[in-house]
Amino acid sequence: MSGTLQRLWQTINYFEVLPIIGSIQKIVNQPKSLKLQTMGLILVTGATGGVGKRVVKYLLEGNYRVRVLVRDAAKARELFGNSVEIWEGDLTIPETLNPGLLLGVSGVICCTGVRVQPVEGDTPTREKYYQGIKFYLPEVVDSPLMVEYEGMKNLLGVIKPHLRSDERLLFDFTNPNQDFREFWGAVDDIVMGGVSQSQISLGGNRAIFSGNVSIANNGGFASVRTRNFTPPLDLSEYEGISLKVQGDGKRYKFIMRCEGKWDGVAYCYSFDTISNYPQTVDIPFKSLIPVIRAKTVKDAGEFDSSRVYSLQLMLSKFEYDGGLNPRFSPGLFGLEIETIRAYGKNVNTPEVILISSAGVTRPGRPGIDLSQEPPAVRLNEQLGGILTWKLAAEELLRSSGLRYTIIRPCALTENTGDKRLIFDQGDKIRGQVSREAIAKLCLAVLQNPEAVNKTFEVRETEEIVKEQDYQQLFATLKVDQL
């Protein structure tokens, strides 16, 4: 087989252009169409803790991309493998929290807390008595002031200027967490008899679309395209696509498709690059031009952003309807891409979810009978003021101007998380709640406008339920009056 025929076959095979190829691949169990994460990128702090690791599990099951901030990357890798992006850092050390931590992040779930040794079965040297009742005082490994309060202050310092909840990262070539070759492949004019060649590769924390475009044999285009997403992406809540690129001075096309056909209507946008200069190119969906093989389709209608099947980057001799690309020249070319993201979402959901604790207001509240309180409240002072500093962290978040939800769980357990939950406000309730239930609750909060700017306590009952009615529970809560 000649080199030209071999390249043509590779293209046909990669994109399953012929139905028989797709059928054969299914028979041998080698499906080529891949699922891109349909949800956004969420940062989880304290991800290796009892609640945090469960939050990560449910986020991944919900098809979110997950980035974790942890002190011990090796431990995180052991827990999560390659399913998450791991950022090693410490909330108490601001230098480990540079803006890259928030790149592409649309929401933050903060599960960070001080490390303690077990309460039960401790050594007699830490036995403590309160009004005649014996406790084993847990050993607080960290400083509550540093972890709970200073840590929150440092985290908010990087969140506020860099969190982009109105955007959704589709491809991050600066930190690719999937094999981009499973998504992107070359589609050159060889499919029409030409001899142009292109490829996409990784280098210098970017994807590089490069090659040699030729006008021989009536050719004149080179491109790279994704396989069809299954299911297609729903970007209907966004206004357009934003590319962060560095080019070579040539004029390129960005192409999207809202149907799964190989050679159906394509929606195009042309953009100029400045040689060796970084640019952000914003492409409103309403500005996309419907074409078939560079000829406009007058009755195609506007692009349907609720069904995005594929993306494509192209260098072409032609503009539209026989017009020529004013910046085209045959020969070598190169376009570097850092990120591809959707932008312009009208956001009304929480940006930061903080796992705090029930009882945070009680140690300093007048008239409280501490003998009736759980050990954490009774021993707050001996534990370094842990609840006091959790409350101070809450106040930092409330005054940050970010949309937030603060969850105050009662005593955490290892139960299965299938009990009916009760929400309350005013820091009055006592009881228990499982870590599994709190992790599931975080996901319910993440996409719920009813949870915005609300603080509440939560405990579980003895009643087993199949599903929680979170919407009704959130609707009963009052927005914080602060």
pLDDT tens profile 47-93: 999 999 999 999 999 989 999 999 999 999 999 999 999 999 999 99
All CATH 3.40.50.720 domain ranges of the chain, comma separated, are: 41-165+347-475
The contacts found for 229-233 with CB under 8 angstroms, 24 or more apart, are 229/33, 229/34, 229/35, 229/36, 229/308, 229/309, 229/310, 230/33, 230/34, 230/35, 231/35, 231/38, 232/258, 232/260, 232/307, 232/308, 232/309, 233/36, 233/38, 233/170, 233/307, 233/308
pLDDT the model gives residue 117:
46
State mean pLDDT over 159-178.
Answer: 85
Question: Given the DSSP bridges, would you call strands 295-296 and 289-292 parallel, antiparallel or unpaired?
Answer: antiparallel
State mean pLDDT over 413-417.
Answer: 91
pLDDT of 120 over the 50 cut:
no
Tell me the pLDDT band of 355, cut-offs 50, 70 and 90.
Answer: very high
pLDDT of 178 over the 70 cut:
no
pLDDT the model gives residue 5:
60
pLDDT of 177 over the 90 cut:
no
pLDDT the model gives residue 263:
83
pLDDT of 33 over the 50 cut:
no
Q: In one letter, which amino acid is 324?
A: L
State mean pLDDT over 191-195.
Answer: 84
**Any idea which fold 171-343 has?**
Jelly Rolls (2.60.120)
Tokens of residue 223, six digits: 């491109």
pLDDT of 3 over the 70 cut:
no
Nearest to 93 by CA among 147, 144, 160, 156: 147
What percentage of the chain reaches a pLDDT higher than 70?
85
Please give the residue that has the higher pLDDT: either 206 or 20.
Answer: 206
pLDDT the model gives residue 369:
75
β-sheet with 419-424: strand ranges across: 85-88, 65-70, 41-45, 105-110, 352-355, 404-409, 454-464, 419-424
State mean pLDDT over 177-195.
Answer: 81
> Which range is most confident: 4-13, 247-256, 344-353, 365-374?
247-256
Domain at 41-165+347-475: CATH architecture: 3-Layer(aba) Sandwich (3.40)
**How many CB atoms neighbour CB 330 within 10 A?**
14
State mean pLDDT over 116-124.
Answer: 43
pTM of the predicted protein model: 0.79
Side-chain-side CA neighbours of residue 429 (13 Å): 19
Alpha-carbon gap, residue 89 to 467, rounded angstroms: 36
Tell me the pLDDT band of 164, cut-offs 50, 70 and 90.
Answer: confident
Please give the residue that has the higher pLDDT: either 367 or 480.
Answer: 480
Nearest to 399 by CA among 164, 109, 152: 152
Task: State the burial class of residue 480 (Cβ atoms within 10 Å of its Cβ: 0-12, 13-18, 19+).
Answer: middle
Alpha-carbon gap, residue 349 to 108, rounded angstroms: 12
Alpha-carbon gap, residue 176 to 141, rounded angstroms: 35
All CATH 2.60.120.430 domain ranges of the chain, comma separated, are: 171-343
What percentage of the chain reaches a pLDDT higher than 90?
65
Tell me the pLDDT band of 405, cut-offs 50, 70 and 90.
Answer: very high
Tell me the pLDDT band of 431, cut-offs 50, 70 and 90.
Answer: very high
Alpha-carbon gap, residue 82 to 409, rounded angstroms: 30
pLDDT of 12 over the 70 cut:
no
Tell me the residue length of the chain: 482
pLDDT the model gives residue 119:
43
Q: Is the dihedral of CA 15, 19, 24, 25 positive or negative?
A: positive
Q: Are 377 and 210 in contact (CB under 8 A)?
A: no
Which residues are CB-contacts of 437 (< 8 A; sequence separation ≥ 6)? Answer: 415, 417, 419, 421, 458, 460
